[in-house]
Amino acid sequence: MKNKFCLEHCELDQHWDSFITTSPHGTPFVHSQFIALLGVKYHAYYCCKGKEKIAAVLLIVDESETRVIGHHDVIHDGIVHRDISHLNRAQGNSEQFAAQEYIAGYLSEHYTQVQLKLHPAIKDIRAFLWVNYHNDGPKYAATPRYTSLLELGEFTSAISALEQSDNYKNSSVSRRQEIRYGIKKAVTVSESQDFALFAKYYGMTMARQGIEIDSAQLNALATRVSRLAQLGLLCMYQAQNRDQKIGSFATYLLHRDTAYYFYGANNPEMRDSHTGTAVLWQAFPLLAQKGVSRLDLEGINSPQRGWFKLSFGGNIEQYFHIRLTKTDA
């Protein structure tokens, strides 16, 4: 079956974005404008069966363009299968396996290193794990990763009491307490365009963790987030106390009915102001007003941050990082 497939080089253009939009594996991380703003080298392909495009492939590569290295802001990359809703289950499973089998073989032949971060909806990765299964050739390794997903459908209409919210009831005791304190102390959340202050707070947040970010990097972050907002790919919210002093920011990438937590920032001097919880919780109905029904809190893989995200009571979902390294490269 492999000879029926080919990978065709392509550009990240409106045709690419159209394919991504209709795919169940599409995300803002592989949108043409998102990648353009990163300024990275990439290789993009369509996986074709005959003349039919059945998957898109995005690879972030190094300067030599021989290694697929990924990027820390591109949370999901690699394979984006087409919509297979017109196929029955057996047909859909077969198509995706065959496409992955061809792609896995192609990448192992053309790159000295491969790192992919697959979409959570890609559950079957056998095609990667079976490369060189019966010989001593280089093999792919898979690392499970996790994220937390919140369903925001209940926020499409006003909730008169917190106890009526399933999300509230599923949150931890400490998170419910923070939610109540924020409301009691008149913390409010609104959409924001103050990207410069956001970047300043982000620098302060990182500095508190012992990570220094220079002003040029912070300015670049502010510019990129601002541009993503102008393109309609991102929205930013700020949380302020009753004195209208901003304590926290959160940015969310948007793709169809799903939002992805992107960057957050806090004023360390306002750690006890409850804005850190409010900038998420009170943003849920604002996101729902934009047609967002699901929020991906974008990873719970850090001991420093995972528990905070999980305290909002989301569903844990697994996805895979795939890696191939040729020892003789």
Q: Where are the domains of the chain?
A: 2-144+320-325, 153-292
CA distances for 234 relative to 125, 189, 193, 222, angstroms: 30, 16, 11, 12
CB-neighbour burial class of residue 318 (10 A; exposed 0-12, middle 13-18, buried 19+): exposed
- Decide: 24 and 81 in contact? Cβ < 8 Å: yes
Separation of alpha carbons 107 and 103, rounded Å: 6
Instruction: Quote the pLDDT of residue 2.
Output: 57
Closest to 149 (Cα-Cα) out of 23, 322, 27: 27
DSSP secondary structure of 144-206: EEEEEEEE-GGGGS--SSGGG-HHHHHS-HHHHHHHHHHHHTT-EEEE---HHHHHHHHHHHH
Sort strands 294-296 and 258-266 into parallel, antiparallel or unpaired: parallel
CA distances for 58 relative to 63, 73, 135, 157, angstroms: 16, 14, 28, 38
Q: What is the CA radius of gyration of the chain?
A: 21
pTM of the model: 0.95
Separation of alpha carbons 136 and 283, rounded Å: 52
Angle between helix 215-230 and helix 195-208 axes, rounded to 10 deg? 130
Fold of 153-292: Aminopeptidase (3.40.630)
Residue position matching structure tokens 């999901």: 76
pLDDT digits (tens, 9 = 90+) for 214-272: 999 999 999 999 999 999 999 999 999 999 999 999 999 999 999 999 999 999 999 88
The one-letter amino acid code at 33 reads Q
159 Cβ partners below 8 Å, 6+ apart?
Answer: 165, 285
Per-residue pLDDT of the chain (329 residues; tens, 9 = 90+): 556 999 999 999 999 999 999 999 999 999 999 999 999 999 999 999 999 999 999 999 999 999 999 999 999 999 999 999 999 999 999 999 999 999 999 999 999 999 999 999 999 999 999 999 999 999 999 999 999 999 999 999 888 889 999 999 999 999 999 999 999 999 999 999 999 999 999 999 999 989 999 999 999 999 999 999 999 999 999 999 999 999 999 999 999 999 999 999 999 999 889 999 999 999 999 999 999 999 999 879 988 778 999 999 999 999 999 999 887 65
Handedness of CA 249, 251, 252, 254 (dihedral sign): positive
Sort strands 234-240 and 246-255 into parallel, antiparallel or unpaired: antiparallel
pLDDT digits (tens, 9 = 90+) for 116-130: 999 999 999 999 999
Instruction: Quote the pLDDT of residue 3.
Output: 67
Quick one: tokens of 135? 């010989």
- Decide: 34 and 28 in contact? Cβ < 8 Å: yes
Domains 2-144+320-325 and 153-292 share a fold: yes
Between 3.40.630, 3.40.1710, 3.40.50, 3.30.360, what CATH number should domain 2-144+320-325 receive? 3.40.630
The one-letter amino acid code at 170 reads N
